Amino acid sequence: MTGFALNPRAVGIEEEGAFAVLDRALALKAAGRPIINLGIGQPDFDPPGHVLEAAAKAAREGPHGYTSPVGMPALREAVAADLTGRFGVGVHADEVVIVPGGKVTIFLAAMLFGGEGAEILYPDPGFPPYREAIAFSGAKAVPYPIREDRDFGFDAEEVLSLVTPATRLVIINSPANPTGGVVPRAELDALAAGLEAHPHVAVLSDEIYSHLVYDDADFASLLAYPSLRDRVILLDGWSKTFAMTGWRLGYGVWPKALVPQIRKIITITHSCVANVAQIAGLAAVTGPREPVERFRRTFAERREAVVAGLNALPGVTCRAPGGAFYAFPNVTGTGLSSAELAERLLEEADIALIPGESFGANGRGYLRLSYAADMAQIEEALARMGEFLAVNGRSKEEAMPGTR
């Protein structure tokens, strides 16, 4: 307790579990422990060289003042042109709002659509800020299940069944954190068709991992659905695509009529994004894309190793994720709860992972493993997990009787 009278909604915010694990992992590492961090969701690469050069030049030469609250015109235009090229739908610069990190678009959407009496649907398990931002706005956060037996997608009918007259927004995330699931096009078709009966409902489509899609996963952008075009908010940014998490740069594509509303919220919060970050972002979007493809190929190789390695562990099963850089193994066969397993793997095996329940009640029984670490670390972590489970878990035969 602080002794102050505080806003209960602010006090009620639950901190994102990944940051708590990061703090603990860093503290243990500083104390000399050989921690392997598979907890944090950020690429382990440097941003492309031409991006760093553009930023260094901008730091020297400016501009150094505020920019428009919604972003530099050149950057908004470059983002619009990029999306128009990728998805074949016309996106205009005046629909693009540049923000300090992808997360900010979640907050802005929750502030704009939320409030007392509103309901907002979000995925469970899902990225924790969805639920917290909805609740902070005063709206009711209504979870819809993400299902392992659907390769960590959702059932559109189930989502639609939760829509009420109070529903203002549905949050969709594909490829997803924490599962790596990619929602199949057919399911998005069904969702879009069903939403035609609910014209009062907008959609926030979080596509921050859209450049990290593997094999034949059938990624589709909700921005490209004509029936939803005037009520989709697209969330994307530079963090995952260009390995720029610390640069705090993201964007939303908003229905044009909402941009003045968003602009007002920005002017009472961050005013605008740092010039250097915006100029770096411009270089990233307009420059060569070879580094992005290189990052994707590297993640694809690690994904193979992670999925095979996890499936070889006693009591663990893992679906091959279609996108992002997360695996979400089911650990119910180990005989340990996911919370205990995550805790003990950190304390006893020096591996930082996130328990699935940090992402919602439906995440219980799973761990989130981020494979944004090099192959040697991944192999070492899998070996340590194997040793830990050999002593503390059930044997393969006990975990899955009759499989030998």
Q: Which residues bind ligand PLP (CB under 6 A)?
A: 41, 101-103, 127, 173, 177, 206, 208, 237, 239, 245, 250
One DSSP character per residue, 103-163 reads HHHHHHHHHHH-STT-EEEEEES--THHHHHHHHHTPEEEEEE-BGGGTSB--HHHHHHT-
Shortest spacing between CB 79 and ligand PLP, in angstroms: 14
Burial class (CB in 10 A: 0-12, 13-18, 19+), 105: buried
- Listed residue (221, 239, 192) closest to 51, CA to CA: 239
Cβ-based nearer residue to ligand PLP, 137 or 177 = 177
Helical H runs in 257-364? 259-267, 275-286, 290-311, 338-349
Strand, coil or helix: 287: coil
Cβ-based nearer residue to ligand PLP, 175 or 329 = 175
Shortest spacing between CB 239 and ligand PLP, in angstroms: 3
Cβ-based nearer residue to ligand PLP, 54 or 98 = 98
Cβ-based nearer residue to ligand PLP, 124 or 206 = 206
Shortest spacing between CB 13 and ligand PLP, in angstroms: 16
Phi-psi region of 117 (alpha: psi -120 to 50; beta: other; left: phi over 0): left
Cβ-based nearer residue to ligand PLP, 173 or 221 = 173
Q: How many CB atoms lie within 10 A of CB 398?
A: 13
Shortest spacing between CB 103 and ligand PLP, in angstroms: 3
- Listed residue (276, 217, 292) closest to 43, CA to CA: 292
Shortest spacing between CB 236 and ligand PLP, in angstroms: 9
Measured CA distances, 258 to 109, 236, 255, 304 (Å)? 10, 17, 6, 42
Cβ-based nearer residue to ligand PLP, 69 or 181 = 181
Integer Cα distance of 35 and 213 in angstroms: 28
Shortest spacing between CB 172 and ligand PLP, in angstroms: 10
Shortest spacing between CB 208 and ligand PLP, in angstroms: 4
Q: Strands 202-206 and 232-237: what pairing?
A: parallel
Cβ-based nearer residue to ligand PLP, 245 or 334 = 245
- Listed residue (303, 284, 153) closest to 213, CA to CA: 303
Shortest spacing between CB 192 and ligand PLP, in angstroms: 20
Assigned token pair, 133: 């931002």
Cβ-based nearer residue to ligand PLP, 67 or 173 = 173
Shortest spacing between CB 246 and ligand PLP, in angstroms: 9
Whether residue 129 has a cis bond before it, omega within 30° of 0: no
306, 312, 318, 322 alpha-carbon torsion, rounded to 10°? 40
Cβ-based nearer residue to ligand PLP, 211 or 396 = 211
Q: What are the residues facing 321 on neighbouring strands?
A: none
